Structure 1
Amino acid sequence: MTTKTAHIVAHSHWDREWYLSFEKHRMLLVQLMEDLIETFENDPEFTNFHLDGQFIVLEDYLEIMPHRSNQVRKLIEEGKLIVGPWYILQDEFLVSSEANARNLLIGIQASEQMGGYAKIGYFPDSFGNMGQAPQLISQAGIEVAVYGRGVKPVGFNNEIQSGNEHTSKYSEMYWESPDGTRVLAILFANWYNNGMEIPVEPEKAKAYWAEKLAAAEEFASSSELLFMNGCDHQPLQKDLTQALKTATEIMPDVTFRHSSFPEYIQALQKAKPQSLDVIRGELRSQWTDGWITLVNTASARVYIKQQNVKSQTLLEKVAEPLAVMASLSTGIYPRHELLYAWKTLLKNHPHDSICGCSVDEVHREMMTRFAKSQEVAEAISVQSARTIAESVDTSGFDADSALPFVVFNTSGHRRSNVIVTRMDVERRYFDHQPPHEKYQEFKREYETFDSNDWVVLNAEGKQVEAVITPVGPTFGYDLPDDRFRQPYWAYQVDVELHAQNIPGFGYHTFALMPQSVIGESVLSELNTPELVTEQQVMENDYVRIEIAGDGSFTMLDKVNGRNYTGLGIYEDTGDIGNEYMYRQPDQEAPLTTQGLPAQIKLVHHTSLKAVYEIVHNWELPVGADELLDEEIRSMVPFRYRKSRRLDETREVSIRTELSLEKTGRSVGIKSYINNTVQDHRIRMLFQTGLEASHVTVDSIYELAQRPIQPEAEWRNPSNAQHQNAFVSISNGREGLTIANKGLNEYEVLANQNTIAVSLLRGVRELGDWGVFATPEAQCLGQHILEMELISHDLDVIQSDAYVQAYQFPVPWTVQQTSVHGGTLPATHEFLQWEGDHLAFSAIKRGESNDDMLFRVFNVSSETTSLKVTPSFEAKEVYESTIVEEQGETMKVADEGSYVLNVGPAKIQTIGIQPTTRLI
């Protein structure tokens, strides 16, 4: 009589690119798939293969072997080849909330088109797991998660510590999101290779299974035991059938089954294990010694993270909103183009790719993918903005002299900022004429151009405070729909203006006009107080920024009286670790710019914005000593390395721009670092002085609360953590929020609760299981890093400072147009919405229908109300999900509005079906 069942799941965890380039790995993938197809044909007892939970491996394979498409489809339909639900296996923390959702949506739809997918939330090797994973997969109809990191199993003989939500007695447990969604969760307690390379020879098999069964039983909650037959890029075990027959012969009291995840999960649920623990929220290996969290991948190759944020933002917060707006006028939506851009971007999101922990060849190719995705998003954005602008009625401006332009806000929330846009005052086409002569003629005519003779008017005909700066003649060209390209010279100016209160999905129209054609009644005396009041001081009605001789600065919040000192100091330490983990040399003291004289000068000063430039020429150690090379060659674990930094130094130039706008309680920070040295990390320090026990961090569809002090088990001297858009600290009365563009690592230091944001980290090796040199991971050369320091009352949620932080990376879109009639008003909001503590996530058209999908998430722990009011006639409005399934129909509340309660931490999608269908 058998007492236990060993479920053997054949698989191969497939990193598309890592220690080899993508194409070299793909050649191995082709061989694996060819072997797999042959084995299915020749061995009827080889029943199935788990294709790593990601669809893209099929795309990669079939691009080389398209003639196998029908065979692959048949295997999927028969349940032999188990694919999905993801498109790729992402790093959850280093990509955006929407990127996680689109990865699931695209993966499910692609898998369905090939025959079906496994309803398993598969996270085998994510470097930590997002707290909202249960809610995310549950919205896709998936009720089971399988993962490898983040939770610490303690086994049968240990008690769970009181209040400890990140350990479990068993490898099976329940996992609960902040909104309360709960799924069954299965941990690879003995990793996803605990059943690899099973011996066929009886004596070896006996020893093998004695060890493997005991290890699995140590954590299993039932007699249903899971064994993963494979590992990273593991070739197929072609004799698996024979190996399992041997196991059955030598251990008749165990049922050995070539199983699958669906079969194993069904058996586990039937066994009804009792007293499973509940784990909650983010799984970041908090209850470990902290040495193997792999969190410092967040600061490896920062240039990769910056390009990723730019790409994600262009798609989510610019191209898609503009395309939706344009589609309401044209009936055309670039669904296929956007899908191509998303898939191109997602190919950079696997954990070994976006984490920056691969060989140099991998990350070079990633930069090309980022560029391709961005170029598609930019092309869609430009075309959509042009289409909308051509439909805007600008006839209210003077037809002979006005130069109208439309300012779009696509951030999802109402917004005010100082913006700069470049405009053509006049164009001279030179087709069939000598361009050089045309240029000289044009330049002479505009030698007397005086920007003071021009003003900006809004759609109501009122003057708007603006600064116009000449640029001069510039080459440009049109690509008409019905003619050959049209090159021209354009005399251009930069227009700096304060765009105020622009709706979240809408625009305001302005016009650049000569004063000579405007009546005196229109021109007004604008209130233009000086932003620079003293030497090295900037201030507006809300904050005062004072720069010290060493380049650090003080921020006084005039609203609440809080004074923050010692901000903006740079810190440099050695790093003898690798792409995965930071390791400071033993007994090394950090170097800082505190007390280091800086060159400080005012480089921009208008009534709207002031910018100070701070230059440090900093002598830093050139790199680690020769011992580090020897320690890497001999694979000394990074924790035990004894290398030190050299005494020899080299100058590293850091130019910092601090900027202050006319309104607002924030200061912009832009760092230009010319990195000339190696094996080090540069951070910027923000001494907050705020008494707090935790920080609030932008994570995936939530603002996570994380303790400042690590747990008792933590031994790593560094307690760096992931962030997405921002990190924030508050004492309950006042707070500071630091927004960023692609700076995914922070740490809170004990001294005055100082927040350290990693700007740059250079290392010389990949790390992990072999010796892989990565000279480009030293990140030599010029880097531009951007942050915004936001002061506020209360905390980041209660003050709504999270809205400004989310808007920081989102560019404004401006489209110049002509004076003409149109179907759209000069100022317009396509979709109105309101709701306390709701953050905008996405607005798009459906992947399989023409409905508009609008998504927000509740950043608070309280139920709130969402009110949505379309500016167009809606046939139906309904609740939807991450995977765009239609749910309960919503009823009109009043004046065309629809109201819905959104629970704590809920991800809420609304579907809107316009009465007019797309072409």
Structure 2
Amino acid sequence: MDFYIISHTHWDREWHKTFEEYRVRLVIFFDNLIELLEHNPHYPSFMMDGQTIVLEDYLAIKPHKKQQLQQLIAHKRIIVGPWYIQPDEFIPGGEFQIRNLLIGQRIAAAFGGSMQVGYLPDSFGQAAQLPQLLQGFGIDYAVFWRGITEDECPDVDFIWRSADGSSVKTTVLAEGYGNARLLNDDPDNNVSIIKNNLAALYARSDKRNMLLMCGFDQRNANPLLPEIVKQLNADLPEHNFRIGALTDYLAAVFKQGDKKVVEGEFRKGKYMRVHVSIGMTRLDIKITNYHTQTQLQRMAEPLMSMSALFGQPYQHELIGQACKYILQNHAHDSICCVCTDSTHAQMMQRYHNAQQISAMLLQDASEYIGDHIAYKTQGTPLVLFNFSGSARSGYENVSFVTPAEDFTLIDSEGQPVDFAISAVSAINQNDAQIEIGQKNQDRLLYRYDMAIKVRFPGFGYQALYMIPRSMPQSEAKGQPLFNESTATFTTDFFTLTVQQNGALTYTDRATGEQFADLNYFIENGNAGDEYDYSPPVSDRLCHPHHGLPDIEVLHNSSLSAAVRLIFNFAVPADTGADKRSDETLDQRIACILRISKDSRRVDFCTTLHNQARNHRVCVTFPDNQPGRRHFAEQQYGMLYRENSVPDPDAWQREGWEERYYALYPQQRYMGFEHASGKVLIFNKGLVTYEINSDGATPVVSVPLICTMDYMGKQDLVDRPGRRSGLHVPVPDSLMPGDHTLEYAFMYLPSSEGDIAAEADRWQLPLLATTPRGKRGSLADAMTLFAVETPNISVMAFKRCEKGPGFILRLVNQLADKADDVQLRLNTTCFNRVRRATLNEQEIPGDMSFNALTGVIRVGRLQPNEIVTFIVDAF
């Protein structure tokens, strides 16, 4: 048998220690590695954990070492890439997974080349669409450790296929990424390691090749390895041992085309923990990640691209820096939040850095566009930007600041526009400006929050005009949506009633479909740690649904309404390993319901005032029909999952590393599908949900807060045995104080099933700006592009990394094929379209693009398929 020994390290940029603490070790590590490889020509190669950020981190301290590193990497003595940072696969957004590889490969190329293997040694489970992501960068191989069992594939080498049909040749590190880490100068020890690996892996191998990983966490290169290999070849002459690269092993093992094809995600902790409940930890950080990603990817970057079309310089470097700040938090331990308090605090600062860059770029781009529009002469302009590529119409909530005290609205044709003001407050601009050497003069502005009726074909802008109130009034009048006497909302599409216990009943007015006990809160104990939620041996559940909550009407018009429900109930003050405490504290939940006249969606903005320790609060939404499966958004469209695992007791009976149950990751939504329509539960950064199938119908439970006092504990109910991480206190993970969570419920009849458009409408509010008074030549309404096929989402609109063109990326949200996919470009802006890879390389072939109408006929997209275009501007 041929043994391929991979000399490597697994480098956590931050975890038990902060980034700077680990960087001290990193600098010493690289110094030693460079010296070893330069002075020992018999040491063929060392793998640098599949990431490139370590190069930046090292050279920031020792820039004079760059040439030496370039020499070693160019000659494949040090193997780097393809990632920028070793990621988690479920929490980061899909576009940021693409940027992770885009930046990682660019850095690796500058140093001499990237390893073309999707190496993921420590990610907590494997996402179903990873093969499509890797193939988009021309990467044919994947190597990972956690999540797979012999039920998915009995062999360590197989073909892994995504729903779109993309596939990669894959090896699972069945014995981990350190199965040869203990090789040393003791020949008997080394022979024993080889025999142990043969016993563990031979039956699952191809019987000809075996992979030995000589390295571990923050581990230096083993300087004795060439001599060890020589000794092994002498002691075990029936085998052949060599120091090699992953690509050497993969090329050998996949020579034969007889490998099993496997599909789907891998999240089972049978042999190694995947920490299925890790998404509950530090939801404040995960929510911040969601908002920061959205602001950069879906707002600032696309608007900067639009403004670049009109002449504003495109800030490649600033967008890249903001992207790097976010990606640095996407390292698997970081974004999963299994670190020290100091590390988590530094993560939040990176998010703040990215937000500040994004906010300024967004402001600059919107002002630039606003200054170049040719406005009508009547009224003061109010410019609205729509960031979704899908059509959008109806009443939308916007906020803006203007000196106008009282006004009505008209569109560019002079027609009245319906609106309803929900709040107005005065702002003294004097407080926010500095006039050097002068006394600032008071200047009052007014901040308006209102619902406005709009219609957008796609991504673009339109100007409305504020007219002084002396002209005919057009603010909408009519019956308010909320009836205080019956505690019921009534819209064009549904009624929503506050039940006597404070939960809600939703009734579709057209079909009569009814959903009861929505927005039901449940609190219980958590004896777990940062890695896993786990109940105490004897848990106690609490809830506030013992009567009607306090109801406070915040705003109530014929177009929109907002009502606050206030719950107060007693919960145990703390939770131990065995039971919850007898002492209780008050748990306050204030839940604002927001309803629009012509929307099917109910928006929830829930604030928890947290005082208790080691506990969890979830909100639940029952379906109204029994069912076997549900769907959820992953990074690239939706996938279907079972409502219950087939054998829920197998993990205990077979001695798994952790409990496996119907707890899953999500992106923006999950839901149920019936013949009559779809139920959707949206979220903003609440990355985990659980399905309880014990009753007549499945119930979705979404964790809103889950607190813990230690990084790692041992002997948990749901995770017996050793602890994960260190047993160090993490008081910030107890999350005292107020926490605000956003989620929504929606019922879509089967005839109105554009989930992509609804998800965008939920995620992307309109931006409203009041221009500075300059006038230009642009039309006062413009659509840059519009997706004209349901369930197709825009992922990105950005400048190309190289060249003058723009990248427009779409994804099929459906887990089924989408036929006759079509989008339309603005023909005054764009004149050429080409297909491209995720790596922004042009794909040869003709595109069906009509330069007169702007129509791109994409044709059929496979389930979850990503399609990328390079669009050229005039």
TM-score (structure 1 length as normaliser): 0.89
Is the Cα–Cα contact under 8 Å of residues 690 and 729 in structure 1 kept in the other structure? no
Provide the residue aligned with 1:223 in structure 2: 208
Distance 1:889 1:618 in 2: 64
Matching of residue 424 in structure 1 with residue 407 in structure 2: no
Provide the residue aligned with 1:302 in structure 2: 283
Cα deviation for residue 502 of structure 1 reads 2.0
Cα deviation for residue 472 of structure 1 reads 2.2
Cα deviation for residue 373 of structure 1 reads 0.4
Provide the residue aligned with 1:789 in structure 2: 745
Q: How many residues align?
A: 845
Name the CA shift for 1:563/1:142 in 2 (closer, same or farther; >3 Å): same
Matching of residue 592 in structure 1 with residue 535 in structure 2: no
Cα deviation for residue 37 of structure 1 reads 0.6
Name the CA shift for 1:390/1:781 in 2 (closer, same or farther; >3 Å): same
Cα deviation for residue 476 of structure 1 reads 5.2
Cα deviation for residue 812 of structure 1 reads 2.1
Provide the residue aligned with 2:238 in structure 1: 253
Q: Which amino acid aligns with 1:759?
A: L
Cα deviation for residue 599 of structure 1 reads 1.4
Q: Which amino acid aligns with 2:868?
A: T
Matching of residue 647 in structure 1 with residue 585 in structure 2: no
Distance 1:45 1:497 in 2: 71
Q: Secondary structure at the match of 2:532?
A: coil
Which of 609, 618, 623 is residue 683 of structure 1 equivalent to? Answer: 618
Map 1:432-471 onto structure 2 (within 5 A): 451=406, 454-468=407-421, 469-471=423-425
Provide the residue aligned with 2:849 in structure 1: 892
Distance 2:226 2:325 in 1: 39
Q: Secondary structure at the match of 2:310?
A: helix
Residues 444-487 of structure 1: CA deviation (Å, up to 9, x unaligned): xxxxx6x4xx2122222122222345422423589899999988
Is the Cα–Cα contact under 8 Å of residues 764 and 778 in structure 1 kept in the other structure? yes
Cα deviation for residue 902 of structure 1 reads 3.5
Cα deviation for residue 489 of structure 1 reads 2.6
Provide the residue aligned with 2:718 in structure 1: none
Name the CA shift for 1:51/1:826 in 2 (closer, same or farther; >3 Å): same
Q: Secondary structure at the match of 2:122?
A: coil
Provide the residue aligned with 1:197 in structure 2: 182
Distance 2:859 2:202 in 1: 45
Provide the residue aligned with 1:757 in structure 2: 702
Is the Cα–Cα contact under 8 Å of residues 398 and 768 in structure 2 kept in the other structure? no
Name the CA shift for 1:669/1:406 in 2 (closer, same or farther; >3 Å): same
Provide the residue aligned with 2:780 in structure 1: 826
Which of 15, 18, 39 is residue 21 of structure 1 equivalent to? Answer: 18
Residues 3-62 of structure 1: CA deviation (Å, up to 9, x unaligned): x11100011111111111111111111121111111102221111111111110111111
Is the Cα–Cα contact under 8 Å of residues 305 and 743 in structure 1 kept in the other structure? yes
Provide the residue aligned with 1:913 in structure 2: 872
Name the CA shift for 1:457/1:397 in 2 (closer, same or farther; >3 Å): farther
Name the CA shift for 1:477/1:617 in 2 (closer, same or farther; >3 Å): closer
Cα deviation for residue 252 of structure 1 reads 1.4
Map 1:281-360 onto structure 2 (within 5 A): 281-285=264-268, 292-360=273-341
Distance 1:482 1:572 in 2: 55
Map 1:453-532 onto structure 2 (within 5 A): 454-468=407-421, 469-475=423-429, 489-516=443-470, 518=471, 520=472, 523=473, 526=476, 528-532=478-482
Residues 274-323 of structure 1: CA deviation (Å, up to 9, x unaligned): 642211022222xx669933121111000011100011101111011111
Cα deviation for residue 573 of structure 1 reads 1.1
Distance 1:497 1:254 in 2: 74
Name the CA shift for 1:816/1:904 in 2 (closer, same or farther; >3 Å): same
Provide the residue aligned with 2:655 in structure 1: none
Matching of residue 673 in structure 1 with residue 608 in structure 2: yes
Residues 724-752 of structure 1: CA deviation (Å, up to 9, x unaligned): 10111122213310111100110111122
Distance 1:231 1:473 in 2: 57
Q: Secondary structure at the match of 2:495?
A: strand
* Long gaps (5+) in structure 1: 154-165, 427-448, 629-642
Map 1:597-636 onto structure 2 (within 5 A): 597-625=548-576, 628=577
Residues 633-673 of structure 1: CA deviation (Å, up to 9, x unaligned): xxxxxxxxxx2111110111111111111211111111100
Is the Cα–Cα contact under 8 Å of residues 145 and 173 in structure 2 kept in the other structure? yes
Name the CA shift for 1:895/1:413 in 2 (closer, same or farther; >3 Å): closer
Name the CA shift for 1:530/1:815 in 2 (closer, same or farther; >3 Å): same
Which of 674, 684, 700 is residue 741 of structure 1 equivalent to? Answer: 684
Cα deviation for residue 876 of structure 1 reads 2.4
Cα deviation for residue 203 of structure 1 reads 2.3
Stretch moving more, 673-682 or 577-586 = 577-586
Distance 1:182 1:533 in 2: 55
Matching of residue 771 in structure 1 with residue 752 in structure 2: no
Matching of residue 411 in structure 1 with residue 388 in structure 2: yes
Residues 538-572 of structure 1: CA deviation (Å, up to 9, x unaligned): 11111111112332111111122111111111111
Q: Secondary structure at the match of 1:167?
A: coil
Provide the residue aligned with 2:720 in structure 1: none
TM-score (structure 2 length as normaliser): 0.93
Provide the residue aligned with 2:34 in structure 1: 37
Cα deviation for residue 129 of structure 1 reads 1.3
Is the Cα–Cα contact under 8 Å of residues 292 and 581 in structure 1 kept in the other structure? no
Q: Identity percentage over the alignment? A: 27
Distance 1:571 1:206 in 2: 55
Map 1:570-589 onto structure 2 (within 5 A): 570-589=521-540
Residues 374-425 of structure 1: CA deviation (Å, up to 9, x unaligned): 110111001000111111111x242xxx321100001222224422323221
Which of 66, 70, 73 is residue 69 of structure 1 equivalent to? Answer: 66
Name the CA shift for 1:476/1:748 in 2 (closer, same or farther; >3 Å): farther
Provide the residue aligned with 1:876 in structure 2: 832
Q: Which amino acid aligns with 1:678?
A: R
Cα deviation for residue 587 of structure 1 reads 4.0
Matching of residue 662 in structure 1 with residue 597 in structure 2: yes
Provide the residue aligned with 1:147 in structure 2: 144
Cα deviation for residue 126 of structure 1 reads 1.2
Cα deviation for residue 700 of structure 1 reads 1.5
Is the Cα–Cα contact under 8 Å of residues 690 and 730 in structure 1 kept in the other structure? no
Provide the residue aligned with 1:639 in structure 2: none
Distance 2:432 2:800 in 1: 32
Name the CA shift for 1:873/1:615 in 2 (closer, same or farther; >3 Å): closer
Distance 1:902 1:347 in 2: 36
Q: Which amino acid aligns with 1:667?
A: V
Cα deviation for residue 809 of structure 1 reads 2.4
Distance 1:361 1:210 in 2: 43
Residues 549-607 of structure 1: CA deviation (Å, up to 9, x unaligned): 33211111112211111111111111111111111122424222232552122122123
Name the CA shift for 1:53/1:589 in 2 (closer, same or farther; >3 Å): same
Stretch moving more, 684-693 or 565-574 = 684-693
Cα deviation for residue 792 of structure 1 reads 1.0
Q: Secondary structure at the match of 2:191?
A: helix
Provide the residue aligned with 2:77 in structure 1: 80
Q: Which amino acid aligns with 1:650?
A: L
Distance 1:832 1:484 in 2: 49
Name the CA shift for 1:478/1:868 in 2 (closer, same or farther; >3 Å): farther
Is the Cα–Cα contact under 8 Å of residues 570 and 585 in structure 2 kept in the other structure? yes
Name the CA shift for 1:185/1:875 in 2 (closer, same or farther; >3 Å): same
RMSD: 2.3
* Long gaps (5+) in structure 2: 653-658, 713-723
Name the CA shift for 1:301/1:478 in 2 (closer, same or farther; >3 Å): closer
Is the Cα–Cα contact under 8 Å of residues 474 and 491 in structure 1 kept in the other structure? yes
Cα deviation for residue 493 of structure 1 reads 4.0
Name the CA shift for 1:891/1:612 in 2 (closer, same or farther; >3 Å): closer
Provide the residue aligned with 1:54 in structure 2: 51
Stretch moving more, 708-717 or 357-366 = 708-717
